[in-house]
Amino acid sequence: MLVWVTVILMLFGMVMVYSASISLPDSPKYAGYTNNHFLIRQALFICFSLMVGYGVFHIKLEIWQKYAPYFFVITLILLVAVLIPGLGKGVNGAKRWLSLKVLNVQPSELMKLFVVLYAADYTVRKQQYMHKLSKGFMPMALAVGFVGLLLLLEPDLGAFGVIVCIAMGILFLGGINGIWFGGIATLLVGIFSLVIVLSPWRRERIFAYLNPWQEDNALGKAYQLSHSLIAFGRGEIFGVGLGGSVEKLHYLPEAHTDFLLAVIGEELGFVGVIVVVYLFYWLVKRAFDIGRQAIALDLTFAGLTAKGIGIWIGVQAFINMGVNMGLLPTKGLTLPLMSYGGSGVLINCVGLAILLRIDYENRALMRGGRGV
């Protein structure tokens, strides 16, 4: 079921990416593209990601645990490389990609996976110090803080938020002192608020989010949000029909990436959105079930990794859906497995392949084997 739900989400996403992007070549920006440009690329991304995922499934979990710190450090180096002129590629004012000609790699996507592995490994190694601030929490906080600094320089506040939630979630599940956790969570909220207050354009986004229908906001910082809400409004219960979206016709920017759910809401209505929400809910619940089973078998690293993957998918999906529906301020985060993008789909598949491997090793151990 884990494989089927993942494949269904990717194929459903591919259909909606095609629907959302089919009219883009009418715009001067995409004049050189064909109508099925994004469909073909997304199909190739999915095929490649599934093949990589199949290979990753055959890697024993102990290998991931052994090399987790090295993967974390390598991804840190890639995040630094993004900021170097000539190496990093900028899109819409944000420098988040490394161009490899055929594929643009987004190191922040890699970091989401490797922070799961690193935080799980760290928690296992430092289990006896998890109730202490200096030896338990602070080293991890400094590592995540350095990642955050690099992401804010890109800037990519959304990815930083997801990574903080992953790290904090795994530390909490790993047994960090509850009082320290509460205090640190409050401090993080204060830091995020300060980042917004000190950044004029982020501050404007917040004010626009609070009143998207005010004329200046609707034509400015809340332009995407107002058109996203219009899309949901047009969809009503059953939608206007697949392919019938009006908002994707150059009204709603980035409809095939950040605002794919708005197109789903317009074309397939409330029913279509509920199906997507339920599939993600099932995926996250299954991840936590697998993690709980692994911990019961005394496989702490595997259990924390599985739950970390669940937190990652769940938090990112929640933020994307919240932004699309106007529950959260506009943030550039894609819908996992569904939105257009090679790096995102590939890393999601790798993460879910690791989750599948954990489930496989759990079952093998329960049958009396060694999970190999």
Note whether residue 240 is domain-resident: yes
How many structural domains is the chain composed of? 1
pTM, entire model: 0.92
Q: Is residue 51 part of a domain?
A: no
Residue 257 domain-assigned? yes
- Residue 351: inside a domain, yes or no? no
Strand ordering across the sheet containing 94-99: 88-91, 94-99, 104-105
Q: Distance (Å, rounded) from C-alpha 25 to C-alpha 69?
A: 44
Please check whether residue 40 lies inside any domain of the structure.
Answer: no
Q: Where are the alpha helices (DSSP H) in 177-222?
A: 178-198, 200-210, 215-218
- Which residue in the block uniquely carries the two structure tokens 């809400």? 229
**Which residues touch 152 (CB under 8 Å, ≥6 apart)?**
160, 195
Query: What are the phi and psi torsion angles at 339 (to 5°)?
Result: -65, 155
Confidence of residue 281 (pLDDT cuts 50, 70, 90): very high
Q: 181 or 351, which is more confident?
A: 351
Beta-carbon contacts of residue 7 (< 8 Å; ≥ 6 apart) = 50
Is the residue at 152 inside a domain?
A: yes
Which of the four pLDDT bands, split at 50, 70 and 90, describes residue 90?
low
Q: Confirm whether 34 is domain-assigned.
A: no
Q: How far apart are CA 292 and CA 290, in angstroms?
A: 5
Whether 82 and 96 have beta carbons less than 8 Å apart is answered as: yes
Pairwise CA distance, residues 296 & 347, whole Å: 27
pLDDT tops 90 at residue 41: yes
Q: Does the structure show a pLDDT above 90 at 340?
A: yes
Range of the domain at 113: 65-336
